[in-house]
Amino acid sequence: MFKSQAIFQNAYKKKFSEIAGKKYEDGTAWEQYQTLVMLIMEQIKLNWNQTNCNNAVNKKKQVYYFSMEFLIGKLLPYYLTNLGIGEVVQKGLKVLGIDLDILIDQEKDAGLGNGGLGRLAACFLDSMAFMGIPGHGNGIRYQFGLFEQKIVNGFQVEAQEEWLKEGYPWEIKKPEKSVIIKYFGNVDTVNNNGKLTFIHENYESVLAVPYDVPIVSYDSNENINTLRLWCAEPPADRQDYEPSCHQSAISHVLYPDDFSQSGKQLRLEQEYFFVAAGLSSIIQHFKKHNNSIFDLPNKVAVHINDTHPALCVPELMRILIDEEGIDWEDAWDITVNTISYTNHTIMPEALEKWQLHLVRYLLPRISMIIEEIDKRFKQDISSKNLANSELMRNTAIIWDDEIRMANLAVIGSHSVNGVSKLHSEILKNNVQPEFNTIYPHKYNNKTNGISHRRFLMEANPGLAELITQAIGEGWKKNSFELNNLVAYKEDSSFLTRLSEVKFRNKCRLQEYLFKTQGIKINPNAIFDVQVKRIHAYKRQLLNTLKIMDIYNLIKDHSHFTDVQHVFIFGGKAAPGYHYAKTIIKLINALAQKINKDQDLNDQLKVVFVENFNVSIAELIYPAADISEQISTASREASGTGNMKFMFNGAVTLGTPDGANVEIRNKVGDENIEIFGLTSDEVINYYRLGGYNALNEYENNPRLKIVIDQLVNGFFPDIEKEYQIIYNSLLEENDQFFVLKDFNPYIEGFNKLSLHFKKTESWQKTCLTNIAKAGYFSSDRSIKEYNQDIWRVDNTR
Ligand code: 26V
């Protein structure tokens, strides 16, 4: 593809005049972007068709990753990297007087996800393609992705994200592959000589139309996978409907509230929509190339990303029984052997439950099947003498007239995994101990990983170049080769160049923040960064109280280190999550107060970066010195931001939670700062009904001051604005142990600040973090998924 710069330039000029009917010099940036996209797509399509043909001929097992969210961000830089044409294109365009960065700016982020779970799905697509696994994404083409966040007078304000407004050039609509999805109505059960058949009548149809996005592999043209996103349309005979009608509403908007189960009917409609459409197209494709439906588990793996696609279990049963005419027992074996499930949280409020009457009304045949699965499961455990009342209660799919999706997912799949060692243990031993006694063979761990090609190669070209100069290019394909950097630990010129790269990345962020938010920060300061969704358990509050404490110390003229600090926050709050929105306001109020205080001599700055998304993330991780990963131990299933920072040489200040524990094991205690309660301690406190927060408050004078400052006029805000935060700590007894972890956190922070001043030692710590990050590439995660769960042969 574009073997030389000259070939690329000629092709580009020709294409431009073809589509725009004028010379490229006179084109707008948008037209110039479109031209580049078309050229790339033309090339991709050649190999994409070939991959599909090869897959059909080779009858290789196909993996389908079902996810309600794919947070893919911008795709142009991803295609340039993975197709290996970044340099040719950039230089070629430059000669034509076109700046590639301006073209990249034309593309809107596809924000089809809330946070970690959706970004993980996107990283997994990249790694599946790279590993040579025919692994495809199945999801929803939301017309509006996650809202755009504006900060107005310190408050979060949400605006619609119109990513499709100018069209999306990386997708191909496949109307001929549309599927009819049936909702509502009733089921007529007919007895044909003892064999029951089920006829769904009086239903409402919705048309699911697929849009395919190619997923290319780094360094190989051979395996191009597909991300298939489904869009809802009125069925062909109902085109008279208004576009705003019920049918097309299904794929209208992404639900922006992670960790809160709203129980909304539309959300359930979405879940069934992409499950039924995806499974239908998989089975059609399978039957075209295979003889026996009993072979399904050998040729197809369906992986469900959290419980949102758990309706795969009853829907696959429905297809096998009602459409393929298979009996229940065989259909069950096929279903369980085909489906595998990843759990992503133990937070009780995020566990999905649906009211039985809603499911009966919306999906009458599916609810019959779920009730039958529930009945048979209960009979099965009773017959095995496993049952006691606690086990029955905790494992039931249907309980209190609700359907518990996690239990459905565990019972209906052959593999259940958590996303870090710690999380998998907590899931198995504390959250689902009964299932673990029934199905010990199902439980396993797959520690998360991230695409190091996107978050290091692409996001941090300076560092990537430095690494390549030192250890060659091998690390791009084998992230474990980063370990060869250990040899440079005593090479002071290398360490200097490493900190020069960091400095340039800090300048790049400084420029961005000045341009977009008018804020001036000092690139020589420590950049202490916490970017992630805003949630009580992630404890942005703990970080805020720390900064207030530092501020108080400086104002008191007490001792303080002479290093300057820039505290950077970013992240969105669910629009209905009042507490989290108040935290955003608090951070902004603190920023206002600190940034304009002349006494501070620029020792402190606080920045809340507006609209944190994948593209902004790619600017922030490379510029960070300290990575804040301070969730209440046991609450963060894994975290993946922690890994993105690590690859970029930031040092973690974190709790012994999620994957932080594994990061510590890789880098050693001296290259990370881990503080605070352990998950066992937290879980024990929860068992005992909590701890005495008031006690901490009364016996810690510095802590008492900052808590009082939330409500005593320290912030010149609307009265009682932060009362809800104050109350969460003292009246509601601090459910997330903010006060309990305050002192250890300050201590850990101070240690890192002192360490930062010892330049060479700090640089070594940064280097060690990069060198040991290889394990946290999603290539490694996907390799393990394949070896233990999907089992596709002949992969990398
Ligand atoms: C939950 C819900 C609940 C129902 C309404 C909509 C909705 C949307 C998203 C979620 C996701 C909650 C689970 C989640 O995001 N978990 C995160 O998964 C990351 C990837 O495994 C992991 O790194 C984070 O620690 C974990 O919090």
Q: What is the mean pLDDT of residues 747-774?
A: 98
Ligand 1 lined by 299 (C-beta under 6 Å): no
With 70 as the cut, is the pLDDT of residue 245 above it? no
Q: Which part of the chain has CATH 3.40.50.2000? A: 59-74+109-447+783-790, 452-677+741-776
Joined together, the tokens standing for residue 525 give 């300061």
With 80 as the cut, is the pLDDT of residue 610 above it? yes
Convert the pLDDT of each residue in 181-227 to its tens digit: 999 999 999 999 988 999 999 999 999 999 999 999 998 877 899 99
Q: Atom 7 (ligand 1): residue with closest C-alpha?
A: 258
The helix or strand, by DSSP H or E, that contains position 541, with its residue range, turns out to be helix 540-555
Output the CA torsion 585→517→144→109 (10° steps).
-130
C-alpha span between 144 and 142 (Å, rounded): 5
Chain position carrying tokens 């039924």: 276
| pLDDT at residue number 561 | 64
Residue 277 and residue 230 in contact, taking contact as beta carbons nearer than 8 Å: yes
Instruction: Count the helix, strand and coil residues of the chain and give each as a percent rounded to the nearest 5.
Output: 55, 15, 30
Is 532 annotated as catalytic? Answer: yes
Give CA separation, 246 vs 204, 211, 278, 337, in Å: 10, 20, 20, 35
With 70 as the cut, is the pLDDT of residue 244 above it? no
C-alpha span between 190 and 730 (Å, rounded): 62
Lowest-confidence segment of 361-370, 561-570, 723-732 by average pLDDT: 561-570
Convert the pLDDT of each residue in 270-292 to its tens digit: 999 999 999 999 999 999 999 99
Residues 730, 733, 736: CA angle, nearest 5 degrees: 110
With 80 as the cut, is the pLDDT of residue 465 above it? yes
Convert the pLDDT of each residue in 62-90 to its tens digit: 999 999 999 999 999 999 999 999 999 99
Convert the pLDDT of each residue in 470-508 to its tens digit: 999 999 999 999 999 999 999 999 999 999 999 999 999
Residues 6+ apart with CB under 8 A from 88: 2, 4, 5, 8
With 80 as the cut, is the pLDDT of residue 719 above it? no
pLDDT band of residue 560 (cuts 50, 70, 90) is low
Q: Atom 2 (ligand 1): residue with closest C-alpha?
A: 258
- Half-sphere exposure in the Cβ direction for 661 (13 Å, CA): 21
Looking at the CA of residue 262, tell me the nearest atom of ligand 1.
Answer: 5
| pLDDT at residue number 558 | 72
C-alpha span between 338 and 321 (Å, rounded): 15
Is 533 annotated as catalytic? Answer: yes
3-state secondary structure of 582: helix
Query: For strand 651-654 and strand 626-629, is the pairing parallel, antiparallel, or unpaired?
Result: parallel
Lowest-confidence segment of 361-370, 526-535, 717-726 by average pLDDT: 717-726
- CATH architecture of the domain covering 452-677+741-776: 3-Layer(aba) Sandwich (3.40)
C-alpha span between 653 and 331 (Å, rounded): 49
| pLDDT at residue number 243 | 47
Joined together, the tokens standing for residue 485 give 């950097």
Looking at the CA of residue 636, tell me the nearest atom of ligand 1.
Answer: 25
Q: What is the mean pLDDT of residues 227-253?
A: 78
Task: Reduce the secondary structure of 397-412 to three states and give it as a string.
Answer: CEECCEEEHHHHHHHC
Residue 447 and residue 476 in contact, taking contact as beta carbons nearer than 8 Å: no
Ligand 1 lined by 637 (C-beta under 6 Å): yes
Q: Tell me which residue of 417, 397, 407 sits closest to 344, measured CA to CA.
A: 417
Could you tell me the fold of the domain covering 59-74+109-447+783-790? Answer: Rossmann fold (3.40.50)
Residue 636 and residue 537 in contact, taking contact as beta carbons nearer than 8 Å: yes
With 90 as the cut, is the pLDDT of residue 50 above it? no
Residue 632 and residue 736 in contact, taking contact as beta carbons nearer than 8 Å: yes
- CA 794–ligand 1 middle distance (angstroms): 32
Convert the pLDDT of each residue in 146-188 to its tens digit: 999 999 999 999 999 999 999 999 999 999 999 999 999 999 9
Q: What Rg value do the Cα atoms of the chain yield, rounded?
A: 27
Q: What is the mean pLDDT of residues 346-352?
A: 93
Joined together, the tokens standing for residue 754 give 């002192």
Lowest-confidence segment of 221-230, 518-527, 695-704 by average pLDDT: 221-230
The one catalytic residue in 35, 51, 81, 640 is: 640
pLDDT band of residue 240 (cuts 50, 70, 90) is low
Angle at which helix 723-730 crosses helix 701-709, to 10 degrees, equals 140
- Half-sphere exposure in the Cβ direction for 204 (13 Å, CA): 16
| pLDDT at residue number 460 | 98
The one catalytic residue in 538, 565, 585, 635 is: 538
Ligand 1 lined by 777 (C-beta under 6 Å): no
C-alpha span between 720 and 390 (Å, rounded): 44
Count of CB atoms situated within 10 Å of the CB of 27: 18
C-alpha span between 461 and 428 (Å, rounded): 41
With 70 as the cut, is the pLDDT of residue 241 above it? no
Residues 176, 182, 183: CA angle, nearest 5 degrees: 145
Q: Atom 23 (ligand 1): residue with closest C-alpha?
A: 639
Q: Which DSSP symbol is given to 458?
A: I
- CA 120–ligand 1 middle distance (angstroms): 10
Give CA separation, 531 vs 516, 621, 628, in Å: 17, 9, 8
Q: Which DSSP symbol is given to 238?
A: G
Q: What is the mean pLDDT of residues 623-647?
A: 98
Residues 6+ apart with CB under 8 A from 484: 470, 471, 475, 771
Mean pLDDT for the chain overall:
95
3-state secondary structure of 259: coil
Looking at the CA of residue 306, tell me the nearest atom of ligand 1.
Answer: 13
Q: Atom 18 (ligand 1): residue with closest C-alpha?
A: 117
Is 758 annotated as catalytic? Answer: no
Is 640 annotated as catalytic? Answer: yes
- Half-sphere exposure in the Cβ direction for 635 (13 Å, CA): 23
Ligand 1 lined by 261 (C-beta under 6 Å): yes
3-state secondary structure of 375: helix
| pLDDT at residue number 238 | 62
Joined together, the tokens standing for residue 548 give 């207030």
Which of 147, 258, 455 is the pocket-test mutation for ligand 1 (most atoms within 8 Å of CB)? 258
C-alpha span between 322 and 319 (Å, rounded): 6
